[in-house]
Amino acid sequence: MADQENTQRVRAYQELVKSRRPSKPILKNVIYAFFVGGAICEVGQWIQWGFMQNGMTAKEATSPTTVVLIGLGALLTGLGWYDKVVKHGGMGGTLPITGFSNAMVAPAMEFRSEGLVLGVGAKLFTVAGPVLVYGLSAAFVVGLCRYLLTGVA
Amino acid sequence: MIFLWAFLVGGVMCVLAQLVLDLFPVTPAHVLVLFVVLGAVLGGVGLYGKLVTLAGAGASVPLPGFGYTLVTGIGEAVKVKGILGLLTGGLTAAAGGIKAAVLFGLFAALVFKPKA
């Protein structure tokens, strides 16, 4: 009996905690993510358009566009500006490739005091490491499935 | 038109990522990993390629575009080299981006000091 009462009390307390916890401003976050993420992609599209004016096809222009955006992301992170983009834009700042660049540079800068090898060298891959591991593995599995099903990948 | 679609598709993808981050107990790193894998899978079934044709940078700039690049690279390499392409294709296609990220990242980390 006492046990049951206790469980009930714990549950009631958990409900109370839940109701008092400040709710995440999901709607605001989503709106900011949309405009920040959309704007970064728009910049990317202009850069890609610029490369295409020099005779590249859309497909050829994708890789240099990515390189330019990664460079911009690293530069803005170094200047301390990209952190503000992520702070307001959330995943709108993190999901584009500029945010990937930010996720590499920011920890590497921060852990520079731990040395060039285990500080900068290792921390560059704090986020990039998992992304590469699972991205490459997933791409391999997808490619293998297509190879087995169709003979070409 | 592609400029409008780039904004819309890129924005919507970031909205989806933001919803995953806000509604589930995960970190941004988890979301990035999830979206790269999603990009690879959607690329494999041919959907992501259509999105890239429609929205250009709106689909290739967000991180699922990286997964898509890996998968299309494997597809092209397998055509040329056969089954060995499964191992070489992904990184070959993504080489420019990865090398740029490492070089620029190292450079920025050495030149700049953290603000706070």
Which two structure tokens, joined as six digits, stand for B40?
């690879």
The verdict on residue A132 lying in a domain is no
ipTM score assigned to the predicted complex: 0.94
For residue A43, the surrounding DSSP H or E stretch is helix A26-53
Contact B62 A112 (CB under 8 A): no
Q: A96 has which bridge partners?
A: B62
Please list every residue in chain B whose beta carbon sits closer than 8 Å to the beta carbon of residue A136. Answer: 70, 90-91
Q: For residue A32, is it within any domain?
A: yes
Residue A48 counted as domain residue: yes
Domain enclosing residue A102, as ranges? 25-110
Assigned domain for A20 exists: no
Specify if A153 maps to a domain: no
**How many distinct structural domains can be found in chain A?**
1
- Residue of A27, A142, A144 to mutate, testing the B interface (most B Cβ within 10 Å of its Cβ): A142
Q: How far is A84 from chain B (nearest CA, A)?
A: 12
Residue A151 belongs to some domain of the structure: no
Average pLDDT value for chain B: 95
Q: Is A128 part of a structural domain of the chain?
A: no
A49 φψ region: left (φ > 0), alpha (ψ -120 to 50), beta (else) = alpha
Question: Tell me: the pLDDT tens digits for B8-22?
Answer: 999 999 999 999 999
pTM, two decimal places: 0.89
Q: Does residue A8 form part of some domain?
A: no
Provide the residue ranges of all domains of chain B, joining segments of one domain with +: 2-111
Q: Is the pLDDT of residue A90 over 70?
A: yes
How much is the CA Rg of chain A, to the nearest whole Å? 22
- Is the model's pLDDT at A152 over the cut of 80? no
Q: Is B54 on the interface with A (CB under 8 A)?
A: no
For A2-53, what is each residue's pLDDT tens digit? Answer: 678 888 888 888 888 878 877 778 999 999 999 999 999 999 999 999 999 9
Q: CA of B57, closest CA in chain A: separation in Å?
A: 5
- In A, minimum Cα distance to B62 occurs at A96
CA separation for the pair A104, A73 (Å, rounded) = 10
Q: Which residues contact B3 (CB under 8 A, 6 or more apart)?
A: A42, A45, A46, A49
- How many beta-carbon pairs under 8 angstroms link A with B? 276
